[in-house]
Chain A
C-alpha cells in the first residue's frame, strides 16, 4: 500500500515549527496549520529565555522564516482543522482558512493600511496591555507578514482599502477550504493560561498593578507595549518593589489544577533578573512554595539570581493581596512558616505565575481525531514511559506542552521525536511493517 509522503502539523509554536523543519529537511512534505494569523506561538511573546538569557524572538525568527521559505513546507495560517478521516499512511484532512479580508498574494506588509485604520483594539500579542488596529499584523516579525482584518472590530469604513497601494484589501473574501492527504499527523497545540481571576484573593482583574507573568514578560520586552520600560500599570510610576507569586492555580486542590507547570520557578527567576537588570534600584521578591530547579543548569541559574542579582526568595503561599486605593500599592499578606507569624510586604507590582493549562480547543480536536485526553485535557500518550509521543490513534503523534508540562528545550527535543515517529510510521506503512 502506498503511504503519503506528507505530514500535517497542527500548531505553529516552537514545537510545531521544529517538527515541521525536521520533516521538511529530510524531504517529506509538511502542512503546518496555525489558527492565529502568524506562526511563532508563545515563544514569540517571550522577552528572553532562561538560563542563557537569549533574546527569544531573535533565536526564533530565523526558524519562522525558514518555515516560510522552505520548499517542502506549506503554511496554512489563520486556519483550523474541520475534519479528519482515514488512517495512518493516508489521512484526509479538511482545513478551513478564515478570511483575512486581505489578498495574501498582493499584501506587501507595508503597514500603510494600519496607519490609517481608525479602530484601536487591545493587542492580544501584548496580552492586551498594548493596542493594535482592526487591520493588523500581530507582531513585526510575523510569518507570514500579511495583514489581517479583524472582522469583529472592523467598522468597514474602507480607509484601508482606499490607502492600500497594492489593492490587497478584499471585503468579500470567504472562508477557504483546503483538502489535504497526509501520511501522519503531529499535534503541537501548546498551552493557555489559567484564569487567575478564579484565585480572587490575589486581585487579578480588580487591581491594575496585579499582572500575569506573560503580561509582565511583554512589559519587559523592548518591542512590548512600554518599549521595555517597567512601570506601575495604574499610574506609570517606576516600581521600586516587585513581588512574584508562584503556583497561582497550579499544584492546587481547591480552585485550580493539581499539576505543576514545571517552568514557572525558573521563568520567574528570569523575569526577576531582568527587573534587576532594567532597574537595579528595584527590589524583587519571589514567593514560592517548592522551588523547582530540576532542569539542566536551573539550580546554578537560581543561585546566580540570589547571589549576583540580589533576588530574594520567600517560601510562603501568600493568603491575600490588598490594594491601597490611593497609592495603588499592593500589600501581600503571607504566613512566615519559620516564625509562625503572619507578615506583610508592600509592593508596587505583583506578578502572578498562573498554571499553564492545555488548550480548551484540545477537546474539539480530540473529537475530530478520536484522540484520548487525560484528566486535565493534555493529549494522552499511548504509553507514558516508552511511547511518550504516540497516541491511541496510529499515525497521530503529540509533542510540546500539549503532551504535558515542559520547557522550550524539552518541547524542541520532543518535537524532533514526534517527527521521527511520523517518518517512521510512513516508512513502515510504505514497506508493510508494523509500528
Chain B
C-alpha cells in the first residue's frame, strides 16, 4: 500500500500501561480529545497497547478504518517503537508512517502527583504527535549484504573462545592480538579457582585449537589501526609491530580486549618495600615456585577499588583471588598465618561461597575493616611489615607484623580502551570499561549495529563468566552473518544538491564519517553508514540537509502544536 499522496487518516491508540499511565492520566479523556484533532479518524484506549491484544487492535483499526498514519501514545520508542512499527507494516502501512507520543516517561511518571495537569500534558503530546504524523512520509529501508567474516580484537580467553565458536559455525575469523602470543591475562595466572587446575592446562588447549583452525587467521603482535564502514561491511586496517599493514573486510567486530591490573603505587608501601606486592606478583612467585616460607602473610582487599571517589566499582574477582592464593600458601606452608583484611567478602554463587568456608576451615583468618578506617602500614624490623588495622567486628585496633603484604588490586580498563572506543565509535562508561547497549537486555551488544563486547573489556569477571559472554557474542555476531542480508534504518540525512555549496561543515561534524564530497563538489551521504543523528542537518548553513522522519516541516508542525497552535 502506498500512502504518500493520500490525505492523512490517523489512528490514535492511547495506552493505560496498567496504572502506569492510567493511574495518573485520564486516558478516556485523552482518547476523546484525540478524536477532535484534524486528520484523526479513529482513537481508542488500550490496557496495554503492547500486549498481543493491543497489537491486534492496531491491525484491526488499520483494516477497518483504512488508516494510513498510526500514533501510539504510551511509553518510550527506545523499547517499543520496533514492535509498533512491525505491527503497522504487517497491516500494510509503511513502518515510517508511525509516530509515538511518550505519555509515560515524559508525563505520568514525571507528574505522578498532578493528575489533572498530567492529563492536559498528555493531550499536548498527542496533539504534537498528530501534527507531525500528518506530514509523515513513507521511507524505504535499504538492504545490505553482510560479509561472513568477523574481526575479534584481543586474543585472551574471551577472544579465543569466540573465535573457535564462530569458526566452527562456518565463519572466517581474524583475531588480532597486540602481544606476540595468544593467551592474554590467563598467561600470568597460576592456578584457577574453583577447580585449582593449572591455568596453562586449559589455556594451551584453547591456543592450540585456535591456531590449528583453518578458518581462523591469527594476527599476533598486531594492533587495529582503523575500522571504517558499518554492519556487514567493515573495512579494517591492522598494523604489525614491524610497521607492516594489512587490510581486510569483515561483517562484524568483537571487542575482547580484556583488562589491566591496577598498580597501587604509593599505597601501603607498594614500590617502597620489596615485601609489598600485588596478587598478580604473588601469582608469579607461586607459579615459579619462588615463594620462600613466610611466617605471616597479610592480604588487603579493595586496594584502589570501591573507593569513595574515582574507582568506585567492585572488581568482582579479587576476593576469590585472595582466597585462592591464601589457600595455596596454606597448602605449601601449613603453619604460615594468613590474614585477609576485607570489607565485604564477594564470595557469590555456588562455588565461591563454598571456597570461603573452605578457606576458613583451612585456618585463613579474616579481619573486617571499614572504608573510613583503612589499614595503616608502618615499616617494622627485619624486613617485616607492620600493619595496624581497625577490626570492625571487635571494635578495636589490631597490630599484625607480617613478612609479606599482598595487595588485592582491581582490574582496570585495558590500556588503549579510549582510543579503540573512538576508532569503533562505541562508548565507554564512567568506570572506563566499554559500555553496552542496554545494561539489562543487551549486555554484550554495542548500540552500534554489528559491534559486540565480551569478557573483562566489559567489566571485571572470572573465566567462566568471560567464556559465557564470549559464546554469547559468538551468537550475536553470527546472526547478521548467517542471514547474509540486512535491512537498515531508513531515517537518514538527505542532501539537496541544488542548495549545497560544498562548504564541508557536515563532513567535519559527522560522527560516523558518513558524508563525503562527490565529484560535483557537493556533500553525499552514504545512507547505510548514516545513523540519523541529525547533526549535519542542524549545522548546515544552507539548510540543504533534510532528515528523513524529522524534516523541518514535521518538527516545526510539532513545535507549533506544542505551543497550542491549532492546525488545520
Tell me the A residues contacting B by CB distance below 8 Å: 14, 18, 22-23, 25-27, 49, 51-52, 54-55, 58-63, 65-66, 68-69, 108-110, 140-145, 222-223, 227-228, 251, 253, 258-260, 262, 290-300, 303, 337-340, 374, 376, 378, 381, 384-389, 404-406, 408-410, 412-421, 423-424, 427-428, 431, 433, 435
Tell me the B residues contacting A by CB distance below 8 Å: 17-20, 23, 47-48, 50-53, 55-56, 75, 79-80, 82-83, 86, 161, 165, 168-170, 192, 194-195, 197, 202, 206, 306, 312-314, 316, 344-354, 357, 392-393, 395, 431, 433, 438-444, 454, 458-459, 463-465, 467-476, 478-479, 482-483
Q: Once the chains are docked, how many angstroms separate the CA of A52 from the CA of B405?
A: 38
Q: Which of A54, A427, A428 contacts B440 (CB 8 A)?
A: A54
Max chain B C-beta neighbours (<10 A), residue from A61, A108, A340, A381: A61
Q: Is the CB of B51 within 8 A of A258?
A: no
Query: Knowing A52-B440, A418-B471 touch, does A405 contact B349 (C-beta < 8 A)?
Result: yes
Q: Once the chains are docked, how many angstroms separate the CA of A62 from the CA of B48?
A: 12
Pairs across A and B, CB under 8 Å, 15 listed: A26-B475, A52-B440, A60-B441, A62-B83, A141-B51, A145-B52, A258-B350, A290-B346, A290-B347, A292-B344, A295-B459, A384-B194, A385-B197, A412-B441, A413-B443
B357 to chain A, nearest CB (A): 7
Q: Which residue of A lies closest to B463 (CB)?
A: A385
Q: Which residue of A lies closest to B478 (CB)?
A: A26
Q: Once the chains are docked, how many angstroms separate the CA of A433 from the CA of B478?
A: 18
Q: Which residue of B lies closest to A227 (CB)?
A: B19
Q: Which residue of A lies closest to B484 (CB)?
A: A27
Residues of B close to A109: CB separation below 8 A: 52-53
Q: Which residue of A lies closest to B84 (CB)?
A: A62
Q: Which of A27, A51, A60, A339 contacts B439 (CB 8 A)?
A: A51
Query: Knowing A68-B52, A418-B471 touch, does A292 contact B478 (C-beta < 8 A)?
Result: no
Q: Is the CB of A299 within 8 A of B50?
A: no
Query: Knowing A22-B475, A141-B51 touch, does A223 contact B312 (C-beta < 8 A)?
Result: no
Q: Is the CB of A59 within 8 A of B79?
A: yes
Q: Is the CB of B440 within 8 A of A49?
A: yes
Query: Knowing A26-B482, A388-B467, A427-B169 touch, does A405 contact B348 (C-beta < 8 A)?
Result: yes
Q: Is the CB of A141 within 8 A of B48?
A: yes
Q: Which of B20, B440, B444 contacts A222 (CB 8 A)?
A: B20
Query: Knowing A338-B392, A386-B206 touch, does A144 contact B168 (C-beta < 8 A)?
Result: no
Q: Which residue of B lies closest to A62 (CB)?
A: B83
Q: Is the CB of B439 within 8 A of A52?
A: yes
Q: Once the chains are docked, how many angstroms separate the CA of A95 from the CA of B459?
A: 40
Q: Is the CB of A299 within 8 A of B471?
A: no
Query: Knowing A145-B51, A291-B344, A294-B316 touch, does A223 contact B440 (C-beta < 8 A)?
Result: no
Q: Which of B47, B194, B458, B470 contacts A140 (CB 8 A)?
A: B47
Q: Is the CB of A420 within 8 A of B468?
A: no
Q: Once the chains are docked, how many angstroms separate the CA of A338 from the CA of B369?
A: 12
Residues of B close to A66: CB separation below 8 A: 83
Q: Once the chains are docked, how many angstroms separate the CA of A431 from the CA of B167?
A: 12
Q: Once the chains are docked, how many angstroms separate the CA of A228 from the CA of B483?
A: 44
Q: Is the CB of B314 within 8 A of A299?
A: yes
Q: Is the CB of A378 within 8 A of B165?
A: no
The 7 A-B residue pairs with the shortest CB-CB distance in the complex, in nearest-first order: A417-B471, A420-B475, A416-B472, A409-B443, A223-B18, A420-B474, A26-B482
Query: Knowing A66-B83, A140-B51 touch, does A299 contact B313 (C-beta < 8 A)?
Result: yes
Max chain A C-beta neighbours (<10 A), residue from B165, B353, B392, B433: B353
Q: Is the CB of A416 within 8 A of B465?
A: no
Q: Once the chains are docked, how many angstroms separate the CA of A427 from the CA of B47?
A: 44
A380 to chain B, nearest CB (A): 10
Residues of A close to B165: CB separation below 8 A: 420-421, 424
Q: Is the CB of A293 within 8 A of B353?
A: no
Q: Which of B23, B48, B82, B474 contacts A227 (CB 8 A)?
A: B23
Q: Is the CB of A423 within 8 A of B440?
A: no
Q: Once the chains are docked, how many angstroms separate the CA of A384 from the CA of B170?
A: 26
Q: Is the CB of B52 within 8 A of A143?
A: yes
Q: Is the CB of A296 within 8 A of B464?
A: no
Query: Knowing A260-B349, A294-B346 touch, does A412 contact B443 (C-beta < 8 A)?
Result: yes
Q: Is the CB of B353 within 8 A of A258?
A: yes
Q: Which of A23, A417, A423, A428 contacts B468 (CB 8 A)?
A: A417
Q: Is the CB of A413 within 8 A of B444?
A: yes
Q: Once the chains are docked, how many angstroms separate the CA of A270 from the CA of B441?
A: 18
Q: Which residue of B lies closest to A250 (CB)?
A: B353
Q: Once the chains are docked, how many angstroms separate the CA of A52 from the CA of B478?
A: 28
Q: Is the CB of B312 within 8 A of A26?
A: no
Residues of A close to B169: CB separation below 8 A: 420, 423-424, 427
Residues of A close to B47: CB separation below 8 A: 140
A258 to chain B, nearest CB (A): 6
Residues of A close to B454: CB separation below 8 A: 413
Q: Which residue of B lies closest to A435 (CB)?
A: B168
A302 to chain B, nearest CB (A): 10
Residues of B close to A59: CB separation below 8 A: 79, 438, 440-441
Q: Is the CB of B168 within 8 A of A428?
A: yes
Given contacts A294-B314, A386-B161, A412-B442, 11 further A-B contacts (CB under 8 A): A23-B475, A52-B439, A58-B17, A140-B18, A141-B50, A144-B52, A290-B347, A294-B348, A389-B471, A410-B465, A414-B472
A235 to chain B, nearest CB (A): 23
Max chain B C-beta neighbours (<10 A), residue from A65, A145, A413: A413
Q: Is the CB of A416 within 8 A of B48?
A: no
Residues of A close to B82: CB separation below 8 A: 62
A83 to chain B, nearest CB (A): 28
